[in-house]
Structure 1
Amino acid sequence: MKTMKLGTSTLEVPVVAVGCMRINSLDKPEAERFVQKALEEGANFFDHADIYGGGACEEIFADAIHMNDDIREKIILQSKCGIRKGSFDFSLEHILESVDGALKRLKTDYLDILLLHRPDALVEPEEVAKAFDILESSGKVRHFGVSNQNPTQIQLLKKFVKQPLVANQLQLSITNANMISNGVNVNMENESAINRDGSILDFCRLNDITIQPWSPFQYGFFEGVFLGSEKFPELNKKIDEIAGKYDVSNTTIAIAWLLRHPAHMQPVTGTMNIERLIDCCRASEIYLTREEWYEIYRAAGNVLP
């Protein structure tokens, strides 16, 4: 597995992150096999959130990996907080409580990265800054970032937060590529030209914030997977054609498409299928040509002016 620097940090991470949102769908032996295979593939970056399984996913992961000091040194743990039932909460109290809960469930003393999960309309950035200072000085969190935030929201936080924000986890796939399309269709009168995120892709590149694409195989908002879907015949035909050229699976090509972008993104997988995880990891070995990248982009229905 190839590695990369996460944001402006010195943290060396695999280019593909393992999302653990669905690990509660596995029984204990299955979870143990899944985590072990991830480690064998060099995929030692595990993404969590306090809401995944109501916290159960973090507990299941810790048990599956048989967490101890030796194991902890070999893995990178990221978790997220801020989503509550019926609301979002970036208050000082909630952030601190959420981290303590995650550490307990993960059976560790620290998180490598903490992300703020979804923008809180009532955020007081001074409180976020205080929470980050407490977490950093106590050693409970080593790096910080955000998720699903636009440039202005990040700039507001940065007015008060002194720690670098190393990552921004955003929805992005071949079929959900508006953050790319609006930059291609500047000043055009079509749907693809609509800027829905404040040019977050360029903002993150300018500020050395690593984009972590979530749901890299989904279309819509969890409407389904585009691979093999009858809704995307041209896309699947093109992906299968290129997959055949490289002698890899369509899963590998879908991740390789994201990795080919010069923003140096770190896709977050969601699969609990070992073979599919291996296919995701194999994407780090594939470097699509410019022509192949654009062929896939257009086959998904994305517009070039």
Structure 2
Amino acid sequence: MRTIKLGSSSLEVPVVAIGCMRINSLEKPEAERFVQTALEAGANFFDHADIYGGGTCEEIFADAIDMNAEIREKIFLQSKCGIRKGMFDFSKEYILESVDGILKRLNTEYLDVLLLHRPDALVEPEEVAEAFDILENSGKVRHFGVSNQNPMQIQLLKKFVKQPLVANQLQLSITNANMISNGINVNMENDSAVNRDGSVLDYCRLNDMTVQPWSPFQYGFFEGVFLGNEKFPELNQQIDEIAAKYEVSNTTIAIAWLLRHPANMQPVIGTMNIDRLMDCVKASELHLSREEWYQIYRAAGNILP
């Protein structure tokens, strides 16, 4: 699979990340087969979070991959922390406690990347900085990033955190593309011009942070997938026509649309279906034309001024 550099780090990672939020839906033989297929396809970057399955997803993954020192050096492990029941928590104590739990469940001594999951309104960035220093100096975490954060929240962290923030995981898909649309509709009096995220896409590009789109097939907030959905007839017709041209699936085109953007994004796919996994992998070698990218963008109901 094609690789990209993760943010400002030296990590060369596959352009498609495997999200493991639903791995607890698989029986052990299915989980083993899925993980092995991903590895054989070069999709060796696995995204986790301490809340997925209440922690069971990390345990199931470690068991499925038969985690050991040899396997560990062949994969990239990313996990997230900061979400607790009824609250968000970026306190030093909770970050450190969370990472210890993550490492135990994944049966590993270190994470390649740790992301702060959702912004904590009560964050004290000095505490985050202390936690990151401890995690880096102990070798438990090698790289750090954020998730669902806007530029000013990131800047606040960077005032105190000395480690580079290499990634920002954000919701983005063809139908959830406001971070792209507000840049196209600058100074226009329409809903697409509303800047809801502080120009986070441009900020990440300017600051060498890799955008990791989550839910790349979803519309709304987990309302469903747009592929094959009767609510999006024009979009699906356009995607299907382009898919037929390249002799690939509509899944491949949806991921290729994200990869066509020059920000060098790394979509996080959540499928546990092997066929769909392979369709996503194929997108890494498909380069949509400018015309095709805009055709899909407009078919989703996005407007050009």
- Give the TM-score, by structure 1 length: 1.00
Task: Please name the residue that 1:228 is paired with.
Answer: 228
> Aligned runs of 1:1-305 on 2, under 5 Å?
1-305=1-305
Cα deviation code 1:127-169 (max 9, x no counterpart): 0000000000000000000000000000000000000000000
Q: Distance in 1 between matches of 2:169 and 2:56?
A: 21
In 2: Cα distance, 1:80 partner to 1:149 partner: 13
CA distance in 2 between counterparts of 1:213 and 1:90 reads: 22
Deviation at 1:193, TM superposition (A): 0.3
- Counterpart of 1:36, as a letter, is Q
Deviation at 1:301, TM superposition (A): 0.1
Paired letter, 1:178? N
**Which string of whole-angstrom CA distances, capped at 9 and with x for unpartnered residues, describes residues 279-298 of structure 1?**
00110010000000000000
SS class of match (2:227): coil
SS in 2 for 1:288: coil
1:66-90 residue CA offsets vs partner (Å, 9 max, x unmatched): 0000000000000000000000000
| Counterpart residue identity of residue 208, structure 1 | D
For 2:93 and 2:228, the matched residues in 1 are separated by 45
1:229 partner SS: coil
One-letter amino acid matched to 1:225: V
- Across the aligned residues of Structure 1 and Structure 2, the Cα RMSD in angstroms comes to 0.2
3-state SS of paired residue (1:167): strand
User: Matches of 1:275 and 1:96 in 2, distance apart?
Assistant: 38
Aligned residues with identical type, % of pairs: 85
- CA distance in 2 between counterparts of 1:238 and 1:96 reads 47
Aligned counterparts of 1:170 and 1:137: Cα–Cα separation in 2: 28
List gaps (5 residues or longer) in structure 1: none
| Number of matched pairs | 305
Compute the displacement of 1:258 (Å): 0.1
What TM-score comes out, normalization by structure 2 length? Answer: 1.00
